[in-house]
Amino acid sequence: MSLKYAERMDNIKASEIRELLKLTQDPKVISFAGGLPAAELFPIEEMKKISVDVLEKYGKVALQYGPTEGYEPLRKVIASRMKKLGVEASKDNILVISGSQQGLDFSGKIFINPGDVILCESPSYLGAINAFKAYEPKFIEVPTDGDGMILEDLEDILKNNDNVKFIYVIPDFQNPSGRTWTEERRKGLIKLANKYDIVIVEDNPYGELRFEGEYLPALAHYDTEGRVIFLGTFSKIFCPGLRLGWVYARSDILNKFILTKQGADLQSSTISQIQVAEFFEEYDIDGHIEKLRTVYKKRRDVMIKAMEDEFPDCVSFTRPNGGLFTWAVLPENINARELAVKALKKNVAFVPGGSFFPNGGNENTMRLNYSCMNEEKIIEGIKRLAAAINDMLLE
Ligand code: PMP
């Protein structure tokens, strides 16, 4: 049988993370590969109670179709939550979506014609790269340093490309690098976006997971012309299994997302939305987030210390002030994909960094997640990884 797939499917490959995660299901494997929150911190008892309460109180609504925009009380919760990130939002500018991943796919669907240029940080989130790829853009990676995109390079790119559709950024505790943009860079980005009339997609799953350093508002806070599309999610501050996130945008832009949502899946799960709204009403979500921060900070400290103690000096790594990831750079002659295979033989996993560069290269990098393994496993896993690195250095 000849299956006549659309050409765009040529751009859609199995995600390396997904393939790796399959292997890491084995309990023997210490996994720094996924971006999973710590499952032992999920509020399971509270959610049991909420589930029963929601069915008792709102059964008929909870199991019914609902509006595409989302469950109104949840949209209000989200609007008020955005204040924590310095954004004065109204529920009318919020669309509830099925995880922020859906917002990435919709951004591609709404803005990208084949061949259009989109700009992203170098490196950038693999899941976004894959979502955008389906719409066949040309990626231009903007060079970054520890403070965010290098704005002089960004301006050069904007000057020389007149078909840039949007700039995609993760300004807080970036996946994969762990890096956070400074205030100066945030302001500078908005200024350039205004000057060159470009939309920005701000992907912000980790902004509330700061455990060190000075508070910084989201990029959307600095927006002066409504050109930032903000994607938020309950996945990292609450539970990813509920698959709920949101888009916050100016009304005309949000309308495009609403229309796209209608075509994709009509609405996000009504019952999940009511459960989240109830949880936020009944329980102390800030206390919950504080608990996450404490645990993740400790795990970050343990991972950094283990890397300082165990890794050879030729390996450098970032020390993030929040979020779930650190990023390591190996000597140029070490290919992290080969290292990942060798490390898996020692029952430790990570994601090779090359996948986070849409145009390739940088094969000597790796992303390490510290949120979902306990401290003992982090220390043991880093020891095993160091042994795999040392084996490769001797080859
Ligand atoms: N953006 C970034 C930067 C992420 O790290 C993730 C999850 N790993 C997502 C978006 C998607 O998250 P979700 O769909 O669960 O909200």
- pLDDT tens for the 395 residues of the chain, in order: 889 998 888 888 776 666 766 777 788 999 999 899 999 999 999 999 999 999 999 999 999 999 999 999 999 999 999 999 999 999 999 999 999 999 999 999 999 999 999 999 999 999 999 999 999 999 999 999 999 999 999 999 999 999 999 999 999 999 999 999 999 999 999 999 999 999 999 999 999 999 999 999 999 999 999 999 999 999 999 999 999 999 999 999 999 999 999 999 999 999 999 999 999 999 999 999 999 999 999 999 999 999 999 999 999 999 999 999 999 999 999 999 999 999 999 999 999 999 999 999 999 999 999 999 999 999 999 999 999 999 999 88
Distance CA 101, CA 67 (A): 20
Q: Token digits for 46?
A: 């509270």
Distance CA 133, CA 358 (A): 9
Torsion angle (degrees, nearest 10) of CA 377, 382, 387, 392: 130
Whole-Å CA distances, 42 to 38, 77, 103, 288, 299: 7, 20, 24, 9, 17
What distance in angstroms lies between residue 314's CA and the mean position of ligand 1's atoms? 31
Question: What are the φ and ψ backbone dihedral angles of 380, each rounded to 5 degrees?
Answer: -65, -45
Helix (H, G, I), strand (E, B) or coil at 92: helix
Distance CA 230, CA 227 (A): 10
What is the number of the ligand 1 atom nearest to the C-alpha of 234? 16
Half-sphere exposure of 134 (CA within 13 A, CB side): 15
Distance CA 330, CA 353 (A): 10
Residue 289: is it exposed, middle or buried by C-beta count within 10 angstroms (0-12/13-18/19+)?
A: middle
Residue 26: per-residue pLDDT = 85
What distance in angstroms lies between residue 205's CA and the mean position of ligand 1's atoms? 6
Contact 166 CB / ligand 1 (< 6 Å): no
- Asked if residue 176 has a cis previous peptide bond (ω within 30° of 0), the answer is yes
Show contacts of 134-137: CB within 8 Å, 24+ apart.
Answer: 134/8, 134/11, 134/12, 134/105, 134/108, 135/8, 135/108, 135/109, 136/8, 136/11, 136/112, 137/108, 137/112, 137/165
Q: Is the ipTM of this complex over 0.95?
A: yes
Contact 175 CB / ligand 1 (< 6 Å): yes
Q: Which residue has the tokens 């965010």?
A: 148
Amino acid letter for position 330: L
Closest CA to 381 of 358, 347, 357: 347
What per-residue string of b and e applies to 255-277 under the rule 16 or more CB within 10 Å gives b?
A: ebbbebbeeeeebbbbbbbbbbb
Element (DSSP H or E) covering residue 148: strand 148-149
Contact 106 CB / ligand 1 (< 6 Å): no
203, 325, 351, best to mutate for ligand 1 pocket (most atoms within 8 Å of CB): 203
What distance in angstroms lies between residue 142's CA and the mean position of ligand 1's atoms? 21
Closest CA to 32 of 382, 289, 266: 382
Q: Token digits for 296?
A: 């993740």
Compute the radius of gyration of the chain from its Cα atoms: 21
